[in-house]
A = this chain, B = another copy of it.
């Protein structure tokens, strides 16, 4: 459903965002990674964290994260270990192989962005960033009609 039914800015932003997301996800998959696995590795890159905090940071349900981490762990890209201070907790950490995969992913995302925004100057890209930052996307600001 890509054809614009009107010239409304909201539709334009939504559709361009969707297509941009599809292009980015394709780039995330270059290392053979599921997009959500790549996103998880990005969250883990700065440092290890508990599985619960990771789920909160990614705004996914903890039960969904289980499958993602199972996959990452089976591929040797991340590791879970028990927290000695609280044995209920899992400390999740990216591995060296995971960091390597992330570097390849990062290169691919950079390439995708050059494709997406190649017609814009650096200054124009900065303007776009500034305008997008000022779009109000507070989910609490509206009543959900669906």
Residue A52 lies at the interface, judged by CB distance under 8 Å to chain B? no
- How many copies of this chain sit in the oligomeric assembly? 2
Within 8 A of B (CB), among A103-124: 108-109, 112-113, 115-120, 124
Residue A84 lies at the interface, judged by CB distance under 8 Å to chain B? no
Residue A135 lies at the interface, judged by CB distance under 8 Å to chain B? yes
Picked from B1, B10, B57, B124, the residue with its CB within 8 Å of the CB of A131 is B124
Whether B115 and A16, one on each chain, are in contact in the complex, defined by CB atoms closer than 8 angstroms, is no
Whether A10 and B36, one on each chain, are in contact in the complex, defined by CB atoms closer than 8 angstroms, is no
Please tell me which stretch of A75-83, A85-93, A138-146 contacts chain B, meaning at least 4 of its Cβ atoms lie within 8 angstroms of it.
A138-146
Picked from B16, B27, B34, B127, the residue with its CB within 8 Å of the CB of A137 is B16
Question: Known contacts A10-B24, A23-B137; is A142 also within 8 Å of B112 by CB?
Answer: yes
Within 8 A of B (CB), among A6-40: 6, 8-30, 34-36, 39
Q: What's the Cα separation between A119 and B135 when bound, in Å?
A: 7
Whether A10 and B109, one on each chain, are in contact in the complex, defined by CB atoms closer than 8 angstroms, is yes
